[in-house]
Amino acid sequence: QVQLVESGGGLVKPGGSLRLSCAASGFTFSDHYMSWVRQAPGKGLEWVGYISNTGNTIYYADSVKARFTISRDNAESSLHLQMKSLRAEDTAVYYCARVWRSGWPLDSWGPGTLVTVSS
């Protein structure tokens, strides 16, 4: 079955960097767009960005543009989120999710990894 597992979260100081990874299994990773979604403590869901199945197209939410970089390794079935210049408001659980089909339904989600930005 489809499985997504994030890793790399932790405590980082404001202005610092962190790299999240998402290991995918149970499906043909290179067939699917992938997305990152985050959720601040006690808040709603916020889309972070997506990457096309080939990696040629990447889009970001304005809140993370120029600070976050999404990449993928289809050979390793892995998705990555490089975060820099982190701010307190980036504190959240970060989920990777599979884009199932047209219309952008995110049909499979990882359990999430918590990123805390604090001094």
Choose one: 10-18, 19-27, 77-85, 100-108; the region binding another protein (CB under 8 A): 100-108
Does 104 bind another protein (CB under 8 A)? Our answer is: yes
Residues β-bridged to residue 23: 5, 78
Is residue 53 within 8 Å of residue 32, measured between CB atoms? yes
Does 109 bind another protein (CB under 8 A)? Our answer is: yes
Is residue 39 within 8 Å of residue 110, measured between CB atoms? no
Determine the Cα–Cα distance for residues 35 and 16; give it in Å rounded to an integer: 23
Choose one: 10-18, 20-28, 70-78, 108-116; the region binding another protein (CB under 8 A): 108-116
Does 1 bind another protein (CB under 8 A)? Our answer is: no
Contact set for another protein, span 18-77 (CB under 8 A): 35, 37, 44-47, 49-50, 59-62
Is residue 84 within 8 Å of residue 97, measured between CB atoms? no
Burial of 100 (0-12, 13-18, 19+ CB in 10 A): middle
Q: Which of 2, 12, 7, 40 is nearest to 117 (CA)?
A: 12
Q: Which is nearer to another protein, 6 or 29 (CB)?
A: 6
Does 105 bind another protein (CB under 8 A)? Our answer is: yes
Does 107 bind another protein (CB under 8 A)? Our answer is: yes
For another protein, the binding residues (CB under 8 A) are 35, 37, 44-47, 49-50, 59-62, 95, 100-101, 103-107, 109-112
